[in-house]
Amino acid sequence: MLPFSLISDKPLNEYSEEELKTGVVFLVDKPLNWTSFQVVNKLRWVIRKMHKIKKIKVGHAGTLDPLATGLLIICVGKKTKEIETYQGKEKEYTGTITLGASTPSFDLETEIDQTFSIDGISEEAMQKAAASLTGAIEQYPPVFSAVKIEGKRAYESARKGEEVKVKPRSVVVSKFEIDTSEFPKVHFTIVCSKGTYIRSIASDFGKILNNGAHLSALRRERIGEFMLGQ
């Protein structure tokens, strides 16, 4: 009935209406090309239909872009009051940065706008670039993001071709490990704080190497103590 994996203490149909309204936390493995909002809507619709509930609160604790997959925490009933607590937890991602080309959105949502020669990029330089993006850093969110600027989502203006000026934000990247065995694809594991844009890290990684780069794959593996493998 659900087109995605749902991790919970028991099957969805075994929860009573009272349990759901009191509060349940579900872990979802978000599929590719689904928005986080679509996952929430689908789960809400299934719960209402399965249990014949007219109204129930359902929300997610931290957006995943449509082109990303992986862990999405879904809170139901009174557990929606704890969403901010889950949003603030440390997150772990795996994915791929592709060097030699950049895009306006820093990922594959938009077309490649520039290409670069990858000749002369050494393993040492890439490791140094990753190290320089580790720790407390300042980063600019992508203009194709949900960041609000004067009451509007940045992506709404960016998609209209309007100029978007985003302000830098302070984030913490506690781990940035790379595997360059499939260069120019650079596979990574990143552990970071709330508010970190992995797309921005990908773009900055390319700039530090005097090149271009974009995020070509992303999967969220962990949020705090919650893991996909659970």
**Cβ 74 vs Cβ 40: under 8 Å:** yes
Q: Are 107 and 216 in contact (CB under 8 A)?
A: yes
Q: Give the position of tokens 């992986």.
A: 70
What superfamily in CATH does domain 91-227 come from?
Pseudouridine synthase (3.30.2350.10)
For residue 24 the two structure tokens come to 């349940």
Domain boundary assignment for the chain:
5-87, 91-227
Q: Which of 29-33, 50-54, 212-216 has the lowest mean pLDDT?
A: 50-54
pLDDT in tens, 115-162: 999 999 999 999 999 999 999 999 988 766 566 655 666 666 556 666
How many percent of the chain have pLDDT more than 90?
Answer: 77
For 165-208, what is each residue's pLDDT tens digit? 778 889 999 999 999 999 999 999 999 999 999 999 999 999 99
- For residue 67, the one-letter residue type is L
Six-digit token string for 100: 């030699």
pLDDT of residue 158: 57
Cα–chain-centroid distance for residue 52? 33
Q: Which pLDDT does position 153 carry in this prediction?
A: 66
- Residue 209 pLDDT exceeds 70: yes
What would the pLDDT profile of 63-87 be if each residue is shown by its tens digit? 999 999 999 999 999 999 999 999 9
Does residue 119 carry a catalytic annotation? no
Give domain 5-87's CATH number out of 3.30.2350.10, 3.20.20.70, 3.10.450.50, 2.40.40.20. 3.30.2350.10
Strands 91-99 and 213-223, sheet pairing: antiparallel
Question: 107, 69, 115: which is closest to 200 by C-alpha?
Answer: 107
Among 9, 29, 65, 113, which one carries the catalytic annotation? 65
Beta bridge partners of 226: 223
Which of 107, 121, 131, 104 is CA-nearest to residue 180?
121
Topology match between the domains 5-87 and 91-227: yes
d(CA 223, CA 137): 20
pTM: 0.92
